[in-house]
Structure 1
Amino acid sequence: MPYPAKLTPALILHEAGRLLDEGGEDALNMRPLAAALGVQASSLYHHFADREALKRALEDETALALGAALQRAGEALPPRRALQATCQAYLDFARTYPQRYGLLLAPRPPAVGLPGPGKDLWNAVLDRVSALSGVPDDTDGTVALWAFLHGFVVLERSGLFGLSGPQRGFEAGLAALLDGMECRKAAPAHGGNLA
């Protein structure tokens, strides 16, 4: 029996995203997904080889969506405000789509420099950091910022901030990072000995 013509990868990913959002990664299985789409599970395998392939496609889609949100957030703003807006958009995305955000953090073999949505997401943040710090390809600053953002998201999600919440810790930490980036831009370049 041929698989339904109406079934497309985009439709499958849309429904898989809904299942993921509602039930977490455990809900992301081929049989419930097929049932939600009104097809046989075997129909899904014409588009995705297995559950892992489906998860990778959802991860790519999530990276694209987060990247687009970060780009929109800082458009046409000066570097510091653009980076502040980018960080707020990151936090908002992680809060709004916690299950999808979790897909971005799944353990995987290193894919250094491989093109794709994950690399594009990295480059979007790297460009904003470099614009503020004045350091071309500012990987150090980008790693520090991303570690701060992710750490805040994890602490918030785990409830470790307690009943008092994070207070203004996010703003204080972000300001310190951005101040440090701006200081790097203002610092004169030193060649050779400092003596």
Structure 2
Amino acid sequence: MWKYFKDLERTMSVRGLNDLAIEMAELYANSAAITKADLAQENDMTVKLVSELLDYAVVHSLVSEATVGLMERRSLSNQKRHSPEGESFSAKHHYAELRRKRVEHQVFSFSEEKIRELALAFAEETDKSKEDIAIRYDIAKKSVDILLKKAITQSICDDETFKKIEERSIRHNDSPETRAFFRQLHERREAKKKNFFA
């Protein structure tokens, strides 16, 4: 019986491990009849290991945001049903932490070229929302925000692209906070350029 994630890592290829995690996550998300215990029994694993594989699929963006949403709803529903007061705090907290790690992983896995491409798409395709861009790149909406900020502050995108992003954002939300945010981005961008040329 498989008990530890590290044992799977040692004996399976990365592709095999990823495929197993995807398959389990999709089954868990899309079928109320299949429980973690069922998945554990079917794959000769502990329930704890199945949970670790499901978390792995979420954090490493092996499954879509839609699948993560289904998994989260199922987890919340199960916890409400089985907890004495019908609470779901720990499941909410757990998925909030998984989503934070997912965003972090998504941001760090993007190359500068991919960040530049995303920034240009956001700047040029004004008919597309942030949600549309997130879906295209199969990332969370929050990751789009972080990657745009990174593209600007680290001068990954050119000045023209930055200007278009700023204009688009102000058209969408012309508030003092938005203008202050872009002033701060200008300052960081200029500081980065000065440090680069110093």
| TM-score relative to the length of structure 2 | 0.34
Which has the larger share of helix? 2
| TM-score relative to the length of structure 1 | 0.35
Specify which structure has the bigger relative contact order, considering alpha-carbon pairs within 8 angstroms and separated by 6 or more residues: 1
